[in-house]
Amino acid sequence: MNLYIKLILIFILTSIIIFVSYFTFNHNIRRTVLTYVFVTHDYYQLKRLTTDLQNRNFSSASEKILKYINISKKFSSEKSYMIPGIYNAIELVASKALDQEDFNFLEKPLIELLKMEPNLYKPNVWLARALSDDSYEKSLTLLEKAISISPSEDDAYREILRISQITKKNNLIDKYCNDFFISQLGGTQHDPHFSTLFGSSNIKKFAIKFKSKIKDKNFYLNSGIQLAKFLSYEFIPNKTLNLDGVDIYFSFLPGININLKEIILHTNKGKKIIPNNELIITSNSSFIQNEKDQISILSLKEGDEIIRITFQKKTPYENIEKIELIINFKKMKLSNNFYCN
């Protein structure tokens, strides 16, 4: 072997040793490389499911997810970096499932996922649906666990209503209808990549920003929402403002009805009541309708939302020291009054 070939081999071997050592001892580069590998693999697994879902072949989709889970177990027998990808794959398939048979095919992947991560809200609900035709008692156990994880979300309650409708066990309705309407806490963060404005979806708090020529970028938070009653929610700016309106920020769960009756502005000379017919209201995604003495805002999606309120008055209201919003926050119903009153 001539000297030239020996030098090439030495260079290659040295480069491999340096790369392996760098990869082994530099946790930042190791994390970056593994992240790209897992992201690419997750994307590949989701694309593999597309054809099955287009053909509504849930049996094939389930088998692919099980293979995906088995690959993840080679990295860790309990938890791995691939759990978010597995969750997304099952969520994609579950979102297309309609009939009981569709969910039945997801039973094995869901059991395996919950072995790795038992405290996932929606997988507990999906598995309850998959088991409901064999044993509604097992389903109820899973649904009660889901409610304990996130008491204010509606998925578990909807499944309980569906089971009670089939089994005609009205005692389930009596127990859970009231629980749903009074629960406010426990909204979970479903998107593993992006957080909501308040850290999770909930129906306990909201915030406002004041609209004024004097820029005030502060969020003014209120964490005391009470359901099903008109209350005054007060906000005091850091300094006196000339006010054109307010923006309301929240990260509610789906199905919240926000009834705005009036806005009260306070100055050192007294107060000014602005009725709802003197407000201009728009939003990012909610639906708005005028009623007799209030404006009803229907928030139907989960996540961050902005309600933009502007006063019809062409000039700002001056020297505002405090603002009150008279609002009734209500949960919308999951069934008709006859069934769940």
Per-residue pLDDT of the chain (341 residues; tens, 9 = 90+): 566 666 666 667 766 666 555 556 555 655 555 555 455 555 566 777 888 899 999 999 999 999 888 887 776 555 566 788 889 899 999 999 999 999 999 999 999 999 989 999 999 999 999 999 988 889 999 999 999 998 888 999 999 989 888 887 777 777 787 788 778 766 655 555 556 777 777 788 999 999 988 877 888 999 999 998 999 999 999 999 999 999 999 988 889 999 999 999 999 999 999 999 999 999 999 999 998 889 999 999 888 999 999 999 989 999 999 999 999 999 988 887 767 76
Residue in this structure with the two tokens 């996540």, named with its chain if needed: 303
Q: Write down the H helix ranges in the chain.
A: 3-25, 27-54, 58-73, 83-96, 100-105, 107-116, 121-131, 136-149, 155-167, 170-182
* Structure tokens given for 320: 């505002």
The one-character DSSP state at 62 is H
Please return the burial class of 260, using the count of CB atoms within 10 Å of its CB with bins 0-12, 13-18 and 19+.
buried
pTM for the full model? Answer: 0.76
- Distance CA(212)–CA(238), nearest Å, equals 13
Residue in this structure with the two tokens 């395996």, named with its chain if needed: 112
DSSP assignment of 288-312 equals: EEE-SSSEEEEE-SSS-EEEEEEES
- Distance CA(4)–CA(79), nearest Å, equals 49
* Residue-range domains of the chain with CATH: 3-182 (1.25.40.10), 206-331 (2.60.40)
* Structure tokens given for 195: 């957080």
Neighbours of 269 (CB within 10 A): 8
Neighbours of 23 (CB within 10 A): 13
- Cα-Cα end-to-end distance for the chain: 89
What's the order of all strands across the beta sheet hosting 206-211?
220-222, 206-211, 245-250, 305-311, 279-283
Largest CA distance in the chain: 99
Condensed to tens digits (0 to 9), the pLDDT of residues 101-116 reads 999 999 999 999 999 8
Residue in this structure with the two tokens 């309120």, named with its chain if needed: 309
